[in-house]
Amino acid sequence: MQSDLPVDAHPSALDGLETRYSDLTDWVTRQFNPVYRRSLGGEYRWCAEWWRHAEAIIRLSALWYSWESMRLQGATGIGLWFRDHLDHQMPILMGPRGPFYQCSETQHFEPHRARLQPPVEGWFDPEPPCLPDEDTEEGTEECTEELSDAELIALLREISDTPLPSDDGLEPLDDEDGI
């Protein structure tokens, strides 16, 4: 599946900036690829069809936008760009678990797409609904009740294999404790 992200659009994020490169492909072709070379294989991966990877487009766009802006900042601009942008993105972009991890310089592999389950209706509402009870498939109102500290610890003991401290001497927390 090819990425639907526009690779050659001039982003509005760069409006008003006199850019050296006309678009992302131009920057990747004339700046990123020839300048920031790495030995490929092992630690570093690259896909000649980088534009098929949505994550790569986003990361490379972020590098290009920041490069265009920071190159104009004078003495320390590009140094800060290396530290704050390139040095962070390179190991992720080209690393063994990055977007190109299955690809080689000569062969593109479409990355696996994780299965998605749609959220429960109303999940993102200010007061989300309770998850359905696994046995009945019906929502329960119990989960909206506020539990005391002792009830919460008892519930955690029920569902946890990890020993929890005894509730002897537990005092309820309140907002005045600054927590």
Tens digit of each residue's pLDDT (9 = 90 or more) over 85-99: 988 898 899 888 899
- What is the average pLDDT across 67-83? 87
CA distance 161 to 173: 25
CA distance 166 to 55: 47
CA distance 74 to 83: 15
SS3 112: coil
pTM value surpassing 0.85: no
Name the more confident of 135 and 21: 21
Amino acid at 9: A
SS3 83: helix
Q: Is the per-residue pLDDT at 1 higher than 50?
A: no
> pLDDT confidence of 160, banded at 50, 70, 90?
low
Q: Is the per-residue pLDDT at 59 higher than 50?
A: yes
**CB burial class (10 A; 0-12, 13-18, 19+) of residue 5?**
middle
Residues 6+ apart with CB under 8 A from 116: none
pLDDT averaged over the chain? Answer: 75
What values do phi and psi take at 44, rounded to 5?
-115, 140
Amino acid at 83: R
DSSP for 36-76, please give it. S----BTTB---TTGGG-HHHHHHHHHHHHHHHHHGGGGGG
Q: Is the per-residue pLDDT at 172 higher than 60?
A: no
